[in-house]
Amino acid sequence: MNQLSSCKSAGLLSVLRGRPQAAACIAGREGYPELSGIVRFYQTNEGVLVWAEISGLPHSELPCQSGVFGFHIHSGTACTGNADDPFADAMSHYNPNRCEHPYHAGDLPPLFGNDGSALSLFLTNRFSIREVIGKTVIIHDHPDDFTTQPSGGSGTKIACGVVQRMEGSCR
Rounded-to-integer distance, Cα 152 and Cα 154, Å? 5
Residue 11 within a domain: no
Residue 3 within a domain: no
Tell me the residue type at 105: A
How many other CB atoms sit within 10 Å of the CB of residue 82? 9
- 92: domain range? 20-165
pLDDT band, residue 63 (cuts 50/70/90) = confident
Please answer whether residues 41 and 22 qualify as being in contact, where contact means their C-beta atoms are separated by less than 8 angstroms.
yes
Residue 149 pLDDT? 84
Residue 5 within a domain: no
Residue 96 within a domain: yes
Length in residues, the chain: 171
pLDDT tens for each residue of 76-97? 999 999 999 999 999 999 999 9
